[in-house]
Structure 1
Amino acid sequence: MGSEPILAIRDLKVRFRTNDGPCEAVRGIDLDVGPGEFVAVVSESGSGKSQSVMAAMGLLASNGEVSGAIRYREVDLLKLSPAVLNSYRGRKLAMIFQEPMTSLDPLFRIGTQMAAPLRKHQGLSRKAARARALELLKLVRIPHPERRLDSYPHELSGGQRQRVMIAMALANDPDILIADEPTTALDVTIEAEILALIAELRQQLGMAVILISHDLGLVRKYAERVYVMKSGDVVESGPAQAIFEAPQHPYTKALLAAEPHGHKAPPPAHAPILLEARDLRVSFDLSRGFLKRETVTLHAVDGVDLTVRRGQTIGIVGESGSGKSTLGRALLKLLPSSGIVRFEDRALAPLDRAAMRPLRRSLQVVFQDPFGSLSPRLTVGEIITEGLLVHEPALSRTERERRAAAALTEVCLDPALRNRYPHEFSGGQRQRIAIARAMILHPALVVLDEPTSALDRTVQQSIVALLKDLQARHDLSYLFISHDLAVVRAMADEIMVMKDGRVVERGPTEAIFEAPQQGYTQRLIAAALKC
């Protein structure tokens, strides 16, 4: 790095007070960012990379403690009062997060939320702030920006919401943009667009970028310098080209070699049919136009047929908005739908909520974002045993505790950690907790809705291995919904490719990857390989 750093982190230490004693998250790291530089921090989940930048932004959880120095242009941010630090956040240092839906307020329109930092930091009037918000939406190339100003977050796609977050971060022309896993919740085609946009805006606006990521393909493409973290320490750093072409540390070499691999053995040809759907449809009526007087119908799932045998994994892939997650929820009767769905030869359509309850233990789901699906007010032990309170209310507290310990052991977590809360765990650990919550009920079918998309490659490997082991041990069937084609290839027997609510291609996994027939499938696979 040729010039003086605008951000210099020295001997940074972060620890959290927990019920089981202090947890050391960051153990004394040094990190520099020069003007206009693109720096990446990479590691496995739980290595402290996100906590390092959260400390710089003053956004640690209430039980977090930080020491060392974080100097922005010689001002030590750790010594500033909350009020003074707030004047730097958003104005000099801005941050975009992994999941924009947790950062955007669902009750306010996009324009209102974008105007808030402009009015606070620049003192703009409502009219001027709205005009600037419109400029920013155009800058990040959101389609129909005038209309999007009056949209609510749920009315935007995942890629559009992330563009809004980028626009908000750029509102006050920051010197440094911190992007914390900004694309992990996005499909491969949108992921490439978002990183290309950040790189282009960096050149255009002259700001520095700190990319926190586990996606080494993206880091290699965009970063100038790389820091590799493990267990709270920086184990290797240097120019990106040197790190990727001649890594020195064994951990860096392991990261570069990590990739979900292997192929699943298919179930026996005579395996019984567990779940069957015929002509399944899900539609939503949407209002649009002046005063919302016009109603249009969105066919989110449009005539899908599906057969899942016991012990089988069906991979469902497609871009955001293709209908794959809606399909999974409709199959579990979590959304109104039409058509036929049969589970163990029992029609689900006639069943009301009370009649469905006994079947719920056999039909479980694991969601993409475990932090959003795990209650922050409950301990891990309480979360895992929630289902037992519903389906086996006669169990004693002691027996529930025993079952929780066994479930945690089965997903390779220490049962002694069950008195901790979700925020005290890494992303990979939280996903194991979510899997344990499903497995404690001994289900027959599990819908895995993007269960690895927020995880780094080495953790993905371990989760894929865990899911395969649980499947073999308990004869489970999976519906594996994902935009990560490498993981799908390692997990699935068959693949269904969805676009605009329809299945455009299906077949054995290797046939789809080796000889895709549809242009849409070919583009998905090409985008995945490019990243």
Structure 2
Amino acid sequence: MTDSRETILAVRSLKVTFTTPDGDVQAVKGIDLDIKAGETLAVVGESGSGKSQTMMGIMGLLAGNGRVTGSAKYRGQELVGLPLKALNKVRGAKITMIFQEPMTSLDPLYTIGRQIAEPIVHHRGGTFKQARARVLELLELVGIPDPARRIDSYPHEMSGGQRQRVMIAMALANDPDILIADEPTTALDVTIQAQILDLLNKLQAKFGMAVVLITHDLGIVRHFASRVAVMRRGEVVETGTTADIFERPQADYTKMLLAAEPHGRKLSPGDKVPIILEGRNVAVDYATGGGLFGSSAGIFRAVDGVNIRLREGQTIGIVGESGSGKSTLGRALLRLVPSTGRYQFGATNISDFGRSAMRPLRRQLQLVFQDPYGSLSPRQTVGEIITEGLYVHEPQLSRAERDKRAIEALKEVRLDPAARNRYPHEFSGGQRQRIAIARAIILKPKVVILDEPTSALDRSVQGQVIDLLRDLQTAHGLSYIFISHDLSVIKAMSDYVVVMKNGKIVEEGETDAIFDAPRESYTQTLMSAAFTA
């Protein structure tokens, strides 16, 4: 069926090139793309595929060392090479863009009302005071509660979902023809993600604008896009309707992306298997306020009376929204944060163990973090990072023996052993996560707590890391606690699921039971909010 809608943005032979000390790097290699009035076009692909740089090039927002060539015509007007003054009449008015992380896009020194008013004043004239009525209208439109009060709020006073709504309000300020949304929900919980996408849908229907959705999440694409362009290494490898792309993909790369969605099922080790780690009535309190400019001090209970048992060879998935207490519970079980409750590791009661008493047990209780780059020292080689724990727990090893263990660990995580002589910045996100896993398994632990280990990775890389973790679990009899807000990953990795809200467990059970027949309304809301491809 032919789409008869008008093409309002025609991109032809577009190239984006960056000048670097090592020569020119071509991020976008001469692509063609059409955006039609009122449609939702999803541009998908892995990190580095050129999705964002294509749109930044069209908008004239490239970094100083970038340049764009080719053609991008908006309603017949060429944007490439257009003088800045003329370009500014289009961007921010007719073509607008919202970004992945609103906290870095919003100025912390100005109220949200002032920031939403800025494009109105710039494009329509008048004063900020005169623009106030339009700002209030926009805040109400995007679902910000009590707009008259929140108009004078600062970005840090709002939640992640509210900040993203502010960014949408700013983008809508001048009734655009095209709204480009660059990974608008990646940093958000599934329920907030669903709300933001539902909001974009309603606004699109109300104003008839085209939406360009840049994302690597195919579940979202399937639910919200009418047409898809698949990019790889700066080129468009396939375009088509959403149904065609998902049901009849032509390019091998597209087939790979679709196959990369987390799949498989973790079998339960059963109730007869010994318990390796247990926490009873776990509670964690944090002091609030009472600082130099704060109000009177108070107590915030991050984890509230939680009971959890991890068996040998088991994977418990812990899910819940930000602030539910997932990560804090994981750290409490490892005795890394002050807490109360009874803790048992194997046959040992570790409830009263302090830092020094826990130190010999650390090799058996390991933690892998969400951000592999932030958790790896940029000043150490990969070999030094991986073997750091051996200095503490096996100080008798010679340098040659440590090097041998590093080689074995890198092979286990499917990295070239020669990588031990390089630095973290020389590796991709997926490779850095493998390095973090190698650092944990080199000590031959019994329990590994994985805190959002795949959330920063592309789907295809996520699948590789999940397969790796499964293989390591089988090879070494590892027990995992897997913390994530990505329900498709939890389903693929876990044989038991714990659902948390406001520091408490609201529901728990075998994975199939939780996903197929959740009992609690909160769990049902989480499940219905998740988009799976």
TM-score range, shorter chain: 0.7 to 0.9
Change (3 A) 1:103 1:448: farther
State the partner residue of 2:522.
520
Q: 2:102 aligns with which of 78, 100, 103?
A: 100
State the partner residue of 2:143.
141
State the partner residue of 2:167.
165
The answer (yes or no) to whether the contact 2:288–2:300 under 8 Å persists in 1 is yes
Q: Which runs of 5+ in 2 are unaligned?
A: none
Partner Cα distance (1:440, 1:92) in 2 = 55
State the partner residue of 2:461.
459
Shift of 1:197: 0.7
Change (3 A) 1:141 1:274: same
Partner Cα distance (2:264, 2:475) in 1 = 18
The answer (yes or no) to whether the contact 1:45–1:428 under 8 Å persists in 2 is no
Change (3 A) 1:130 1:465: farther
Question: What is the DSSP-based 3-state SS (H/G/I as helix, E as strand, rest coil) of the residue aligned with 1:524?
Answer: helix
RMSD (CA atoms): 4.3
Question: What is the DSSP-based 3-state SS (H/G/I as helix, E as strand, rest coil) of the residue aligned with 1:392?
Answer: helix
The answer (yes or no) to whether the contact 2:341–2:351 under 8 Å persists in 1 is no
Partner Cα distance (2:400, 2:120) in 1 = 55
Shift of 1:280: 1.7
Partner Cα distance (2:298, 2:5) in 1 = 56
State the partner residue of 1:478.
480
Q: Does 1:40 align with 2:48?
A: no
Partner Cα distance (1:402, 1:40) in 2 = 47
State the partner residue of 1:392.
391
The answer (yes or no) to whether the contact 1:56–1:70 under 8 Å persists in 2 is yes
State the partner residue of 1:506.
508
State the partner residue of 2:183.
181
The answer (yes or no) to whether the contact 1:18–1:420 under 8 Å persists in 2 is no
Q: Which amino acid aligns with 1:95?
A: M
The answer (yes or no) to whether the contact 1:284–1:298 under 8 Å persists in 2 is yes
Q: Which amino acid aligns with 1:351?
A: G
The answer (yes or no) to whether the contact 2:446–2:478 under 8 Å persists in 1 is yes
The answer (yes or no) to whether the contact 1:37–1:207 under 8 Å persists in 2 is yes
The answer (yes or no) to whether the contact 1:431–1:451 under 8 Å persists in 2 is yes
Q: 1:68 aligns with which of 70, 92, 115?
A: 70
Shift of 1:62: 6.2
The answer (yes or no) to whether the contact 2:386–2:435 under 8 Å persists in 1 is no
Q: Which amino acid aligns with 1:486?
A: S
Question: What is the DSSP-based 3-state SS (H/G/I as helix, E as strand, rest coil) of the residue aligned with 1:56?
Answer: helix
Shift of 1:320: 3.8
Aligned counterparts, 1:401-416, within 5 A: 410-413=412-415
State the partner residue of 1:194.
196
Shift of 1:199: 1.5
Q: Which amino acid aligns with 1:213?
A: T
State the partner residue of 1:259.
261
State the partner residue of 1:306.
308
Partner Cα distance (2:127, 2:530) in 1 = 44
The answer (yes or no) to whether the contact 2:220–2:531 under 8 Å persists in 1 is no
Aligned counterparts, 1:357-436, within 5 A: 363-368=365-370, 370=372, 373=374, 378=378, 382=381, 385-386=384-385, 388=387, 392=391, 410-413=412-415, 422=425, 428-429=430-431, 431-432=433-434, 434-436=436-438
Between 218-227 and 53-62, the greater mean CA deviation after superposition: 53-62
Could you tell me the TM-score, scaled by structure 2's length? 0.80
Between 118-127 and 28-37, the greater mean CA deviation after superposition: 118-127
Q: Deviations over 1:251-272 (max 9, x none)?
A: 3344444432222244476765
State the partner residue of 1:351.
354
Q: Deviations over 1:119-176 (max 9, x none)?
A: 6666664545565444332221023334444555455443333223322333344332
Partner Cα distance (1:367, 1:240) in 2 = 35
Partner Cα distance (1:237, 1:215) in 2 = 17
The answer (yes or no) to whether the contact 1:310–1:476 under 8 Å persists in 2 is yes
Q: Which amino acid aligns with 1:324?
A: K
Partner Cα distance (1:391, 1:181) in 2 = 40
State the partner residue of 1:226.
228
Q: Does 1:447 align with 2:449?
A: yes
Partner Cα distance (1:140, 1:428) in 2 = 35
Partner Cα distance (2:117, 2:487) in 1 = 38
Shift of 1:40: 0.9
Question: What is the DSSP-based 3-state SS (H/G/I as helix, E as strand, rest coil) of the residue aligned with 2:530?
Answer: helix
Partner Cα distance (2:213, 2:230) in 1 = 12
Change (3 A) 1:405 1:139: farther
Partner Cα distance (2:436, 2:70) in 1 = 35
Change (3 A) 1:217 1:518: same
State the partner residue of 1:50.
52
Change (3 A) 1:410 1:26: farther
Structure with larger Rg: 2
The answer (yes or no) to whether the contact 1:374–1:383 under 8 Å persists in 2 is no
Q: 2:328 aligns with which of 326, 329, 341?
A: 326
Q: Which amino acid aligns with 1:282?
A: V
The answer (yes or no) to whether the contact 1:40–1:210 under 8 Å persists in 2 is yes
Could you tell me the TM-score, scaled by structure 1's length? 0.80
Change (3 A) 1:486 1:294: same
Question: What is the DSSP-based 3-state SS (H/G/I as helix, E as strand, rest coil) of the residue aligned with 2:466?
Answer: helix
Shift of 1:524: 2.9
Between 292-301 and 22-31, the greater mean CA deviation after superposition: 292-301
Q: Deviations over 1:482-517 (max 9, x none)?
A: 232222122112111112221122222223334433
Q: Which amino acid aligns with 1:392?
A: Y
Partner Cα distance (1:27, 1:196) in 2 = 33
Q: Which amino acid aligns with 1:263?
A: R
Partner Cα distance (2:429, 2:68) in 1 = 21
Q: Which amino acid aligns with 2:95?
A: L
Q: Which amino acid aligns with 1:506?
A: E
Shift of 1:323: 2.5
Q: 2:250 aligns with which of 248, 251, 258?
A: 248
The answer (yes or no) to whether the contact 2:261–2:460 under 8 Å persists in 1 is yes
Q: Deviations over 1:23-42 (max 9, x none)?
A: 65433221121333321112
The answer (yes or no) to whether the contact 1:321–1:500 under 8 Å persists in 2 is yes
Change (3 A) 1:204 1:438: farther
Between 3-12 and 56-65, the greater mean CA deviation after superposition: 56-65
Partner Cα distance (1:164, 1:302) in 2 = 33
The answer (yes or no) to whether the contact 1:384–1:436 under 8 Å persists in 2 is no
Shift of 1:189: 2.8
Q: Which amino acid aligns with 1:145?
A: P
State the partner residue of 2:318.
316
